């Protein structure tokens, strides 16, 4: 019976030591480690999601962990600008981009606040696209076969 107790304790102690090793492996004296963030989850559309799936993580200096969004709202806005121009040149009404984002806002439900998002909010996209429409209408109104311009 003592042998059984000893084996049980030996097994439990081994598991405890392994667990402790895993915890301590995250800590390195004097050096930041990305593994410190492994347990952190952020709310993404009301779903707890590991931080490393939502952001780029780096250790550029021994005592610094950098967390960056993978994309930026500026890049997305630039893509919207290029997209509406290409669509207008291909013969699509640029005003449709605004109604598209109205529909996306209705269908999308509650998203993260814009300052946490890599994308502009649908409302801000609509506003910005509406500003581009006067500049894009001449492309759309051109007569002739489509696309008028080389894409």
Q: What's the pLDDT score for residue 138?
A: 93
DSSP assignment of 62-92 equals TTEEEEE-SS-HHHHHHHHHHHHHHHHHTT-
Helices (H), 41-149: 51-54, 73-89, 96-108, 122-141
Query: Burial of 44 by CB count in 10 Å (0-12 exposed, 13-18 middle, 19+ buried)?
Result: middle
- Mark the ranges of the chain whose per-residue pLDDT is less than 70: 24-30, 109-113, 115-116, 147-151
Which CATH number does the domain 2-68 belong to among 3.30.1360, 3.40.630, 3.40.50, 1.10.540? 3.30.1360
Specify the pTM: 0.53
**Residue range 22-49, pLDDT digits in tens:** 776 666 666 777 777 778 887 777 788 8
**Residue range 102-114, pLDDT digits in tens:** 888 888 766 666 7
Radius of gyration of the chain (CA): 26
> CA–CA separation, 39 vs 52, rounded Å?
10
Q: What's the pLDDT score for residue 96?
A: 92
Q: What's the pLDDT score for residue 149?
A: 60
Residue ranges of domains in the chain: 2-68, 73-141
Q: What's the pLDDT score for residue 17?
A: 86
Which residue from 82, 77, 75 is spatially nearest to 136, judged by alpha carbons?
82
**Cα atoms in the Cβ-side hemisphere of radius 13 Å centred on 59:** 11
């Amino acid at each position: 019976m003592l042998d059984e107790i000893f084996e049980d304790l030996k097994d439990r102690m081994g598991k405890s030591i392994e667990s402790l090793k895993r915890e301590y492996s995250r800590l390195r004296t004097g050096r930041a480690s990305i593994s410190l963030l492994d347990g952190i989850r952020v709310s993404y559309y009301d779903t707890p999601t590991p931080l490393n799936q939502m952001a780029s993580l780096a250790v550029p200096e021994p005592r610094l962990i950098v967390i960056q969004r993978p994309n930026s709202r500026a890049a997305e806005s630039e893509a919207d600008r290029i997209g509406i121009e290409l669509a207008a040149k291909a013969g699509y009404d640029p005003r449709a981009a605004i109604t598209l984002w109205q529909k996306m806002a209705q269908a999308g439900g509650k998203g993260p606040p814009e300052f946490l998002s890599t994308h502009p909010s649908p409302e801000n996209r609509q506003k910005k696209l509406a500003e581009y429409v006067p500049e894009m209408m001449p492309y759309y109104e051109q007569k002739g076969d489509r696309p008028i311009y080389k894409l």
